[in-house]
Amino acid sequence: MESFLGGCRAALQVSKNALFCSRLPRHTPPLETLCFPQSRPVAARISPGEAVQSQKEVHVVLGNEACDLDSTVSALALAYFLAKTSPDSKAAFIPVLNIPRVDFPLRTESTFLLQQQRIPENLLIFRDEIDLAALHQAGLLSLTLVDHHILPRDAALGAAVVEVVDHRPLERRRAPPCRVTAELVGSCTTLVTERILQGPVRTLNSQVAALLYGTILLDCVNMAAEAGKVTPKDTHYVSLLESMFPELQTRSLVFDALQRAKFDVSGLTTEQMLRKDLKSLAGKGTAVAISAIYVALQDFLHRPGLEQDLGAFCRQRGYDVLIAMTISFGARNEPFRQLAVYSQQAERQAAVCQALERSSSPSLSLSRLESPCPTIRAYHQGNTTASRKKVLPIVQDFLRQRAGHHPAGPSMQPDLSGCGPPTRVDPQGAGSRGPDRNVAVNNPPKPHRLGEDVADDDTPLPPTPVNSLVDECPLHQGLPQVLPEAIFEKVTRIATDRSLAHQSPEKK
């Protein structure tokens, strides 16, 4: 895999010589003016220059904008397979992770598994390092979509899609010759594994097998039927990988390590920790951010330079108040919830705290804790069942009252951009959904969205792709949301129950 990824980057190195520019069609401006964000030095940028110079097709395998482990491994493994088996020697097969490079550290389970398998991060190619539009304009782009099947922010690239591999219901049908593999399984990686093992030649090695194996186990919650995600096909291919590669670690070891990594924020900066699982709400004149953080509150409050970091975070994004909701687990896997309310504006901080303290539906059972600075109020949360999903309506009601009792209430949206203030929507113009319905509002289109913001109690990776079963998607139809804390807690309960029952299934 390392040599393959090194070749991918070599195929995309910057070509700055005059011959390259002279070979471009007259109607096409030099790609150096199309491909690169001006904030980065030319030497550090990647363009499709070499491909254009040699008129070599670039076949990109593109994961979704969430860029979770399933999307990442699916893109890497399928691109590797296509490069090894495709009869088209003129094409360069390149996996692209659909986020900016700066956001990859937030995908802690992905960084963990790739490091474990000795895949250098510097060889990965991210969305801000290749200009797909320029390649498409030059007539050199083919796209395979994995773990999604629509391009909400890249509709112009739709004509370049030649293949789709997804494990969600199809929201949009694609006509031949586009190859479509869509099946409701627990992990898209299961479908990629099937594709590889049914290929004309054996291309699967132990490194790629370990990537596929770990991803399926994490997505399917260690193949636990109680979690409601695993399907017979997922089980079949996990068992097949185990039989083909007996050196693979046991299921429990792999799953537990990935599950810990998924919620491990110890290696993140404060800013990254806040962005990893962030939602924001905006009413008239007030913007509130709520971050879910998987550490004990006291550990968070004693991070060096915390007050300065919180201030910078809020200033850069236009937040007036920041609520950090922490969750940690005791020796018996019992949850502990605590929260902190930060603001440089004492009046707004006091008003938000009062709303949280006085809430009765639900009651958070808050008790004050010592805080290192006056801009932060800290609380122990006695009601451990009140996740962020239940706290959001409390803040919404507060913003609604503060805005003057407008019937539709404030807007609520995940902070998709990672920069700039949240979109502020006047409550009276929020739409016709009624006063008790949370209104999801997308931020204005941006070149890339972070993908670190997720629906509560779902994977803490960020935002669920538009084609998934989320609010605003026509496929939703009232289905219950699968929210990160609920999965975290459910997995913990499953593990505890199995331990108490003295059942420890390992392989098969």
Write out pLDDT tens, residues 70-111. 999 999 999 999 999 987 667 889 999 999 999 999 999 999
pLDDT over threshold 70, residue 365? yes
Determine the pLDDT at residue 482: 52
Per-residue pLDDT band for 433 (boundaries 50, 70, 90) equals very low
pLDDT over threshold 70, residue 42? no
Percent of the chain residues past pLDDT 70, beyond the cut: 70
Least confident among 78-87, 167-176, 301-310? 167-176
Determine the pLDDT at residue 171: 81
Please state the pTM of the whole predicted model.
0.73
Tokens 């390259």 correspond to what residue? 20
pLDDT over threshold 50, residue 191? yes
Determine the pLDDT at residue 471: 33
Q: Which H or E run contains 281? A: strand 278-283
Least confident among 58-72, 148-162, 179-193, 486-500? 486-500
Helices within 150-305 (DSSP H only): 188-197, 206-219, 232-244, 251-262, 270-276, 297-301
Q: Are 105 and 111 in contact (CB under 8 A)?
A: yes
Write down how long the chain is. Answer: 508
- Per-residue pLDDT tens for 435-486? 333 333 333 323 222 233 333 544 333 333 433 333 333 333 344 445 566 6
Least confident among 268-272, 343-347, 411-415, 431-435? 431-435
Share the mean pLDDT of the chain. 78
Give me the amino acid identity at 74.
S
Nearest to 75 by CA among 163, 13, 182: 163
Q: Which two tokens stand for residue 211?
A: 């990537």
Determine the pLDDT at residue 434: 34
Per-residue pLDDT band for 498 (boundaries 50, 70, 90) equals low
Rounded-to-integer distance, Cα 454 and Cα 486, Å: 13
For the CA atoms of the chain, what is the radius of gyration?
A: 24
Q: Are 113 and 211 in contact (CB under 8 A)?
A: yes
Q: How many other CB atoms sit within 10 Å of the CB of residue 358?
A: 12
